């Protein structure tokens, strides 16, 4: 779907883009004037970013987006006045509540559960991020992007209304202590869905850099279909002959690309790095940064990188909770993709469309599972030293049988 950039929406929003070499940035005075005009004056940018966009202007700019403008009274009604019984969770943006909407709430709105995100005015994010989310998700539609249904822009209130994602975030399923472990095929399905979402953003008519790719921003529906959410840090990609967007370094530790942290130069390859980190988390069941681990294992990327291209040592990376129930060939290929994505050289990282092409065939691989081998505990002996079951063999013979692989308890092979 064609999407206007910031500038065409408000005439004063724009990413600060730069070319690669000094010579290319000094071509002609005419080009410099054109760029200056495209970016708008600093004063204009300050006005826009400080929130000097009226609800009417926003509504006009979103004509054709099918977004509904809710009143705060309507959102209080559908969340039962933001009752704690409707509370889902809270992030950097603010608290999220579950609600239900239908045609009575807004004409033409089908009956469905929704998630209502309320901007915490004292939180880490603010009006600018809220506005960014409305603009991007108001214009972008894809099966692997969470659907924004509407928003509320009334007095000091800033809220967003999304489709309700039944299973919550990927982070919850991977890292919560009491969550059931995700099966291998489900992990692959999630990785492919998230990759498709990024590929769509990067290859849109006006490319978008997501900038905050991480497990907590990947939401799952009832069938574990992955959808990207939280576009508050998204940026329009570089235009024309520009190579990157220069911006203040923002994001989450462990997921941000090294070159972006060092220079503030943002490209689509910055998102590819973040995807590689999430793919590693899916493979390993480990967080991108874990201070509770030994010093050499705290950074997932640095610890895992040496093992990813070594088939004999890859099992050290794989999540023990998988209990060996995964395709060895698929794991090796997925690890190779992750290794490419987290390359220190951005030019060595693949495009997200290539990542999708590499991962999709892995769902069909059903070669012999890696482990587990089986073990039979020796039968208990009675007081006389005989086997507990009549006609059973001695404990010693039972142990010998267990080495032959008779069926019993599942044990993961040692690496």
Known catalytic residues are 212
| Helices vs. strands in the chain: H and E counts, helices first | 14, 16
Asked if residue 145 lies in contact with residue 227, where contact means CB atoms within 8 angstroms, the answer is yes
In the chain, the N- to C-terminal Cα span, in Å, equals 49
Nearest of 222, 209, 317 to residue 271 by alpha carbon = 209
Nearest of 31, 37, 17 to residue 238 by alpha carbon = 17
Give the Cα separation of 173 and 215 in Å (integer): 9
Strand residues in 146-261 grouped as ranges (E): 148-154, 157-163, 168-169, 208-209, 218-220, 226-228, 235-236, 244-246
Give the Cα separation of 99 and 69 in Å (integer): 16
Give the Cα separation of 69 and 154 in Å (integer): 10
Give the Cα separation of 384 and 97 in Å (integer): 65
| Helical H segments across 265-374, by residue range | 268-284, 300-304, 328-341, 352-359
Residue 225, Cβ density class (10 Å: 0-12 exposed, 13-18 middle, ≥19 buried) = middle
Give the Cα separation of 133 and 137 in Å (integer): 6
Nearest of 149, 185, 187, 153 to residue 165 by alpha carbon = 149
Give the Cα separation of 410 and 151 in Å (integer): 51
Residue with tokens 């915490």: 120
Nearest of 271, 265, 190, 256 to residue 223 by alpha carbon = 190
Q: How far is CA 308 from the centre of its chain?
A: 21
Q: How far is CA 100 from the centre of its chain?
A: 26
Asked if residue 15 lies in contact with residue 247, where contact means CB atoms within 8 angstroms, the answer is yes
Nearest of 319, 353, 321, 320 to residue 337 by alpha carbon = 353
Nearest of 208, 210, 228, 232 to residue 218 by alpha carbon = 228
């Amino acid at each position: 779907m064609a999407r206007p950039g910031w500038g065409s929406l408000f005439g004063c929003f724009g990413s600060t883009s730069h070319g690669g070499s000094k010579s290319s940035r000094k071509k002609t005075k005419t080009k410099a004037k054109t760029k200056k005009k495209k970016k708008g004056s600093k004063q204009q940018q300050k006005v826009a970013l400080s929130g000097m966009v009226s609800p009417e202007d926003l509504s006009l700019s979103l004509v054709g987006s099918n977004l509904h403008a809710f009143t705060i009274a309507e959102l209080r009604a559908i969340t039962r006045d933001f009752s704690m019984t409707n509370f889902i969770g809270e992030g950097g943006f603010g608290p999220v509540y579950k609600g239900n909407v239908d045609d009575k709430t807004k004409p033409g709105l089908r009956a469905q559960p929704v998630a209502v995100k309320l901007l915490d005015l004292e939180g880490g994010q603010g009006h600018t991020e809220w506005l960014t989310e409305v603009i991007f998700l108001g214009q972008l539609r894809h099966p692997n992007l969470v659907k924004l249904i509407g928003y509320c822009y009334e007095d000091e209130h800033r809220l967003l209304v999304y489709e309700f994602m039944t299973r919550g975030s990927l982070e919850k399923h991977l890292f919560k202590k009491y969550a059931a472990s995700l099966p291998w095929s489900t992990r692959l399905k999630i990785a492919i869905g998230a990759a498709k979402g990024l590929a769509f953003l990067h290859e849109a008519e006006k490319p978008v850099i997501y900038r905050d790719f991480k497990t907590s921003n990947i939401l799952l529906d009832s069938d574990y279909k992955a959808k990207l959410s939280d576009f508050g840090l998204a940026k329009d990609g570089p235009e024309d002959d520009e190579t990157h967007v220069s911006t203040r370094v923002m994001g989450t530790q462990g997921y941000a690309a090294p070159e972006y942290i060092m220079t503030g130069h943002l490209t689509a390859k910055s998102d590819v790095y973040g995807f590689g980190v999430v793919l590693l988390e899916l493979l390993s069941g480990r967080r991108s940064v874990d201070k509770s681990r030994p010093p050499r294992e705290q950074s997932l990327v640095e610890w895992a990188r040496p093992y990813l291209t070594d088939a004999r040592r890859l099992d050290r990376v794989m999540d023990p909770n998988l209990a060996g129930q995964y395709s060895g060939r698929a794991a090796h290929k997925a690890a190779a993709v992750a290794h490419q994505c987290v390359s220190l050289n951005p030019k060595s990282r693949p495009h997200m469309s290539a990542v999708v092409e590499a991962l999709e065939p892995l769902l069909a691989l059903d070669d012999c599972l890696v482990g587990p081998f089986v073990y039979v505990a020796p039968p208990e002996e009675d007081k006389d030293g005989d086997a507990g079951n009549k006609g059973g063999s001695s404990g010693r013979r039972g142990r010998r049988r267990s080495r032959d692989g008779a069926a019993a308890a599942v044990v993961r092979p040692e690496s």
